Amino acid sequence: MKLDLVQVSGDNLNYAYIVLGISLVALAIAYGLRAQVLAAGEGTDKMREIAAAVQEGAAAYLTRQFKTLSYFVAIVFVLLFALIPEKPLEPENPLVPAPPSTPEKPLKPEMPLNPEIPLKPEIPLKPDVPTPE
């Protein structure tokens, strides 16, 4: 089975180059800002003490959040396993054709097998109009 890949050409190719250029500029700015932050001093003793307290508080907050979320995730995990159907569902894939349906009774053909033989309507549309023969 052959999958069609995205073809980028013309104006779309120009847009791709513009996005590439902007992303490279953003990475360069981020690198420059990172270097600037790392080059700065750590501050005074009081600033380091405050930073340590902030880090301790942030760690305690995140620990509490992860603990609360772990209960929620465990409950959802159990509920999702409880809701799994016995027969797995088959996803509809637009790339794979659906299998042909086989009705229990064969359908009455709408068109005659031989196009030279016209179909006769079983019930005339109007009672005063004769049926063609």
pLDDT one-digit tens code per residue, 18-46: 999 999 999 999 999 999 999 998 889 99
CA distance 43 to 51: 10
**Would you list the DSSP string of 56-79?**
HHHHHHHHHHHHHHHHHHHHHHHH
Please, are residues 59 and 66 in contact by the beta-carbon 8 Å criterion?
Answer: no
Half-sphere exposure of 75 (CA within 13 A, CB side): 6
CA distance 48 to 54: 10
Domain locations in the chain as residue ranges: 9-40, 42-86
Please, are residues 108 and 94 in contact by the beta-carbon 8 Å criterion?
Answer: no
Q: Is the pLDDT of residue 121 over 70?
A: no
Give the pLDDT mean for 60-81: 95
